[in-house]
Amino acid sequence: MQVRVLVRLKPGVLDPQGRAVHHALEGLGFAGVEDVRIGRLIELDVAEGTDHATITQMCEKLLANTVIESFTIEGLGEGAN
Amino acid sequence: MAFRAAVITFPGSNCDRDMASALAAVSGAPAIRVWHGDADLPDNLDLIALPGGFSYGDYLRSGAMAATSPIMRAVVAAAGRGVPVLGVCNGFQVLTEARLLPGALLRNAGQRFICRTVALKVENTASPFTAGYTAGETIRIPVAHHDGNYYADAETLDRLEGEGLVAFRYAESVNGSARDIAGVVSENGRVLGMMPHPERAIEPAAVSALGGADGRRMFESILASFATA
């Protein structure tokens, strides 16, 4: 069973990487880009029936640092956020 | 009784030997080297040092994988018993990931790896690590990091400042750290995390081309607190 965890820097946390990419896009001539934020996509292949609470624990214990990052879980169907 | 310090080595640590060498030079006793996969620490330690480097290649986040190492469970337990813990550079990142210290270390605001000697202002002289300094004095210690940009939310920063838990601040613009914080101590003063490398500053410039001798006093402070304990 495939589960996708999206980890993002929280709003207000400086993202120098995103800023550099933003500048690079402008350098390539792309106009109208307001902001760039870079996150991380983690694809998990987990046993059927793995519940949302377990994936949430994985996120809180390791996959995301909740001091600076938020996470969303996709692919668990009902109950996914 | 000789001073007993342990230096933890994670896969990718690269300042562990420097740390052990500095501890031995100042204390006269060899540091005990401990591997990350060990489940237990040696008994009766006077200090645990987490060195700089790039543990686990900085996979996921700097320090995140190391914080899950078997030895870190023992380090957290030892810190709970009041054993002093010093985390330098990657060691600081590991301490924040292990939640022994608040905040997190983000990518430097300027995106670049920074490797130079910087001026620091000593803020806290109440911990065993910093008692040998004078409050407000400026010292020079080398930094070498890519992810040294200290972040915590405003409430946490206010608390750190209000309770005197900021150990060192950068006295010059370095990496974008919130309120120029270069190092913080735990509430009981027994855990210090800092990005600059005191172990690279233990000999006067006349002897070594490295960063001077201002880091030596940190190790002397730890030793003095041991002697009076």
Per annotation, catalytic residue among B15, B89, B97, B123: B89
Catalytic residue status for B89: yes
Domain that holds residue B141: 5-228
pLDDT tens for B98-137 read 999 999 999 999 989 999 999 999 999 999 999 999 999 9
In the predicted model, is pLDDT for residue A78 greater than 70? Answer: no
Provide CATH code, domain A2-74.
3.30.1280.10
Residue B206: pLDDT band by 50, 70, 90 thresholds?
low
| A73 Cβ under 8 Å from any chain B Cβ | no
Q: Where are the domains of chain A?
A: 2-74
Angle between helices B216-228 and B16-27 (to 10 degrees): 50
Within a 10 A sphere around the Cβ of B83, how many other Cβ atoms? 18
Residue A80: pLDDT band by 50, 70, 90 thresholds?
very low
**B152: Cα separation from own chain's centroid:** 18
Distance from CA of B67 to the nearest CA of A (A): 9
* CA separation for the pair B99, A71 (Å, rounded): 18
Residue B51's pLDDT is 98
Cα–Cα distances in angstroms (integers) from residue B207 to residues B25, B198, B200, in the given order? 14, 16, 13
CATH no. for residue B205?
A: 3.40.50.880
| B149 Cβ under 8 Å from any chain A Cβ | yes
Residue B208: pLDDT band by 50, 70, 90 thresholds?
low
Average of pLDDT values for B45-56?
Answer: 97
Interface test with A, best of B76, B101, B106, B156 (most A CBs within 10 A): B106
ipTM of the complex: 0.84
In the predicted model, is pLDDT for residue B220 greater than 50? Answer: yes
